[in-house]
């Protein structure tokens, strides 16, 4: 990519994002904010957890995004009998009687971890290493995963029978926890009209892996004012009960708060949100725009909040 300076590169990313969003919306209706959050996560080098009831097109959304990004894509259906070797890969004895490593579906750019909470902790831990280290260990050898590497996991919040809740350590590896809601009436009308006829949508590849890597590096160069940086770090600190910056709401309703990774993601998310909104540096509004999806899976309510039916989002709203 031959840009004269970073300002020109930022303008190019904003332009490319607009085209990306328009292309995805040809197939996904009424989920504009969800699309934006997923793309923010991608350009921030984060991973994304999509939570929603069945039938909200979570899997279709991921398939569509993979198609327009032109990246190598793997879909892993997580089940109770899935083993780490099923996703990482395994050694086999070839015809020359030598051991050969056969790569599993984790060796791709975009991973759809479908119903991630249906697999045992052992397999969840294998995914955890890949998400954090961008590498996997198999047969005593370490294999680096290709960049960009982006995990989009889906989870059904209704059926908890036969599931293995994600440990807090793994939840913390996801940059965003995005809740999908039911579509508006007009959007649902459009969905049903198009999916119950012979209507088909051909999507174009908008951006390459090399461009994505370039723009991910560009986000790190975006300047941020000290007062915005302090606001992001203070926001994380406010969620930690019985600490210096804890608020009355925090001490009353929270058991655990967000760690330093939340502060890092708030800054990265704000930078990306600013660029995709046509700005050259983030402000406090950009931090607020990504705060809920970054913090909601990192804070744990106490019994008082449960008893009074106070949601995590309500508590975050108070802190904002």
Any long-range contacts for 280-285 (C-beta under 8 Å, 24+ apart)?
Answer: 280/7, 280/10, 280/222, 280/223, 281/222, 281/223, 281/224, 281/225, 282/222, 282/224, 282/228, 283/225, 283/228, 284/227, 284/228, 284/231
Distances 212 to 191, 204, 215, 280, 286 between C-alpha atoms, Å: 30, 16, 5, 18, 21
Give the pLDDT confidence score for residue 312 in this predicted structure.
Answer: 86
Taking the C-alpha atoms of residue 309 and residue 311, their distance in angstroms, rounded to an integer, is: 6
For the segment(s) 223-319, the CATH number from 1.10.10.60, 1.10.8.80, 2.40.33.20, 3.30.70.660 is 1.10.8.80
CB atoms within 10 A of CB 41: 27
Contact 156, 59 (CB under 8 A): no
The reported pLDDT for the residue numbered 226 is 93
User: Cα–Cα distances in Å, from 174 out to 2, 37, 42, 320?
Assistant: 32, 12, 11, 21
Closest CA to 34 of 11, 14, 71, 64: 64
Cis peptide leading into 148, omega within 30 of 0?
yes
**Predicted local distance difference test score (pLDDT) of residue 162:** 59
Q: What is the pLDDT of residue 291?
A: 92
What pLDDT does 231 receive? 93
* pLDDT under 70: residue ranges of the chain: 1-4, 158-162
With beta carbons less than 8 A apart as the criterion, state whether 274 and 253 touch: no
What pLDDT does residue 142 have?
Answer: 85
Q: Which residues pair with 51 in a beta bridge?
A: 155, 179
CA-to-CA dists, residue 304 to 14, 243, 256, angstroms: 44, 19, 13
Integer Cα distance of 220 and 80 in angstroms: 39
Radius of gyration of the chain (CA): 21
Q: Are strands 48-51 and 176-179 parallel, antiparallel or unpaired?
A: parallel
Within a 10 A sphere around the Cβ of 237, how many other Cβ atoms? 18
Q: CATH topology of 6-198+205-209 equal to that of 223-319? A: no
**What is the residue-averaged pLDDT of the chain?**
85
Helix boundaries (H) for the chain: 6-24, 32-43, 58-69, 84-88, 121-133, 168-171, 185-195, 209-221, 226-238, 248-253, 260-276, 284-295, 303-307, 312-319
Q: Are 218 and 7 in contact (CB under 8 A)?
A: no
SS3 state of residue 101? strand
For the chain, domain boundaries: 6-198+205-209, 223-319
As assigned by CATH, the class of the 6-198+205-209 domain is: alpha beta
Alpha helices in 74-179 (DSSP H): 84-88, 121-133, 168-171
């Amino acid at each position: 990519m031959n840009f004269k300076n970073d300002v020109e590169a930022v303008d190019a990313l904003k332009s490319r994002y607009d085209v990306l969003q328009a292309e995805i919306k040809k197939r996904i209706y009424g989920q504009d904010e969800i699309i934006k959050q997923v793309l923010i996560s991608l350009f921030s080098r984060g991973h994304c957890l999509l939570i929603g009831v069945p039938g909200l097109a979570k899997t279709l959304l991921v398939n569509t995004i993979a198609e327009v990004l032109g990246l190598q894509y793997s879909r892993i259906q997580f089940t109770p009998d899935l083993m780490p070797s099923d996703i990482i890969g395994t050694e086999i004895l070839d015809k020359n009687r030598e051991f050969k490593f056969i790569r599993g579906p984790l060796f791709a750019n975009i991973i759809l971890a479908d119903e991630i909470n249906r697999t045992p902790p052992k397999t969840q831990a294998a995914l955890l290493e890949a998400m954090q280290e961008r590498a996997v260990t198999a047969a005593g050898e370490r294999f680096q995963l290709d960049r960009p590497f982006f995990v989009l996991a889906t989870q059904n919040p209704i059926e908890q029978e036969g599931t293995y809740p994600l440990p807090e350590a793994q939840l913390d590896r996801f940059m965003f926890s995005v809740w999908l809601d039911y579509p508006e009436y007009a959007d649902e009308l459009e969905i049903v009209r198009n999916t119950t006829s012979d209507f088909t949508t051909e999507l174009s590849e908008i951006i390459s892996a090399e461009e994505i890597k370039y723009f991910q590096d560009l986000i790190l160069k975006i300047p941020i004012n000290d007062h915005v940086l302090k606001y992001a770090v203070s926001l994380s600190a406010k969620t930690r009960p019985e600490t210096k910056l804890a608020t009355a709401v925090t001490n009353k309703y929270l058991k655990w708060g967000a760690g330093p990774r939340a502060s890092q993601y708030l800054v990265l998310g704000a930078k990306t949100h600013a660029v995709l909104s046509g700005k050259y540096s983030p402000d406090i509004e950009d931090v607020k725009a990504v705060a809920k999806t970054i913090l909601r899976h990192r804070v744990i309510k106490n019994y008082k909040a449960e008893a009074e039916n106070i949601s995590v989002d309500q508590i975050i709203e108070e802190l904002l």
